């Protein structure tokens, strides 16, 4: 265990990395104490690196939630798939500490792909074994921890539950001790460097991702066309881009009722997040193969 320093302020960046759907966004939200990253049971829900700032008595931890590193890239959405992998792997060289998340009692080819990327960095890596709350037989955990710990010279191996909060305080204490001595880089009341416009798009995309199965969540993205502060409320106009007319009809539903319900729930989430009234209007448009077009990705905010 790394000893915690006394009387020294520490500050630095910590990347949360792992395969898709392993719990990185849930862990970020737990550590920050507020919902910053959208979540769903669909893989690749996270598409952008999100900075979460946590100020502590001993310093400041700057968490970076990254897209899941995945092995198989959909040929129709090759540009988006490669962007997500690049965004995740690029963070490994730009942070001070890395948290590698895996799921308790599971080890996949994509976990191995992440570990391969970690072997190319000199940054200290902490292994966080997530979802221990789901284990029926806790006795199975110790052999798994020993086996997984032998795969790489991790600084520490910590079993956690991002959903329940088990051992997350211990994880955070360890991470703070691994960071360099430094003054805080952000104010104590700051939580992220992302704009409100960004979070408006993400909260709408979250509702759509959660509601639809099969390929619909992967075929859509959200663009905020306008974001106006009217003093007592935000007026937001959003565009939902899909790849085919059939997908647009599915999102709309009968007489547009499906989209109305999703927009209503997104508006409620936005009001809770912004602590302000929100007027939200949503349109759906079709752009063939937007996820396979590098220029379209850049225009829609997926820039390196």
Closest by CA to 200, choosing from 278, 90, 100, 257, is 278
Whole-angstrom distance, CA of residue 263 vs CA of residue 273? 15
Domains, the chain: 10-178 (3.40.50.300), 196-299 (3.30.300.20)
Q: Which of 29-43, 142-156, 246-260 has the lowest mean pLDDT?
A: 29-43
What the block records as the tokens of 243 is: 């790849």
Please compute the mean of the pLDDT values over residues 230-237 and round it to a whole number.
Answer: 97
The more confident residue out of 71 and 118 is 118
Burial of residue 221 (CB within 10 Å: 0-12, 13-18, 19+) is buried
pLDDT per position as a tens digit, 125-169: 999 999 999 999 989 999 999 999 999 999 999 999 999 999 999
Whole-angstrom distance, CA of residue 36 vs CA of residue 78? 27
Asked whether 28 and 36 are in contact (CB, 8 A), the reply is yes
Asked whether 88 and 19 are in contact (CB, 8 A), the reply is no
What is the structure's pLDDT at 90? 76
DSSP string, 52-68: EEEEETTEEEEEEE-PP
Helix pair angle (257-274, 245-252), 10° resolution: 70
Please compute the mean of the pLDDT values over residues 14-36 and round it to a whole number.
Answer: 93
Whole-angstrom distance, CA of residue 48 vs CA of residue 41? 17
Q: Which of 9-13, 35-39, 78-82, 128-132 has the lowest mean pLDDT?
A: 78-82
The percent of residues above 70 in pLDDT, for the chain, comes to: 91
Instruction: Give the containing element (helix H, strand E) for 159.
Output: strand 156-159
| Residue-averaged pLDDT of the chain | 89
CB contact set of 246 (below 8 Å; sequence gap of 6+): none
pLDDT per position as a tens digit, 269-292: 999 999 999 999 999 999 887 777
pTM given for the model: 0.87
CB contact set of 180 (below 8 Å; sequence gap of 6+): 10, 11, 12, 96
Asked whether 40 and 34 are in contact (CB, 8 A), the reply is no
Closest by CA to 289, choosing from 74, 86, 85, 46, is 74
CA dihedral 35, 39, 45, 51 (to 10 degrees): 20
What is the structure's pLDDT at 212? 84
């Amino acid at each position: 265990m790394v000893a915690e320093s006394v009387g020294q302020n520490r500050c630095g960046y910590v990347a949360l990395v792992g395969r898709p759907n392993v719990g990185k966004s849930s862990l970020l939200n737990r550590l920050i104490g507020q919902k910053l990253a959208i979540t769903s049971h669909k893989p690749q829900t996270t598409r952008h690196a999100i900075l979460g700032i946590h100020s502590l008595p001993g310093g400041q931890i700057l968490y970076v939630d990254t897209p899941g590193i995945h092995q198989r890239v959909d040929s129709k959405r090759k540009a988006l798939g490669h962007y997500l992998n690049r965004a995740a792997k690029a963070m490994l060289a730009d942070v001070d500490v890395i948290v590698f998340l895996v799921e308790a009692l599971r080890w996949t080819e994509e976990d191995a792909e992440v570990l391969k990327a970690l072997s190319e960095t000199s940054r200290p890596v902490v292994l966080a074994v997530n979802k221990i709350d789901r284990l029926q037989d806790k006795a199975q955990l110790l052999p798994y921890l020993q086996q997984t710990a032998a795969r790489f010279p991790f600084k520490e191996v910590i079993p956690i539950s991002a959903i329940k909060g088990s051992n997350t305080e211990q994880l955070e204490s360890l991470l703070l001790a691994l960071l360099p001595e430094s003054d805080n880089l952000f104010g104590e009341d700051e939580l992220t460097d992302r704009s409100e416009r960004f979070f408006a798009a993400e909260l709408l995309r979250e509702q759509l991702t959660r509601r639809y199965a099969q390929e619909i969540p992967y075929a859509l993205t959200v663009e905020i066309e306008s974001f106006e502060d009217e003093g007592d409320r935000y007026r937001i106009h959003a565009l939902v881009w899909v790849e085919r007319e059939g997908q647009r009809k599915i999102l709309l539903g009968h007489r547009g009722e499906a989209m109305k319900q999703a927009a209503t729930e997104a508006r409620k989430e936005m009001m809770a997040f912004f602590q302000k009234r929100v007027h939200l209007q949503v349109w759906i448009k079709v752009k063939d193969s937007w996820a396979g077009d590098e220029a379209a990705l850049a225009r829609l905010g997926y820039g390196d």
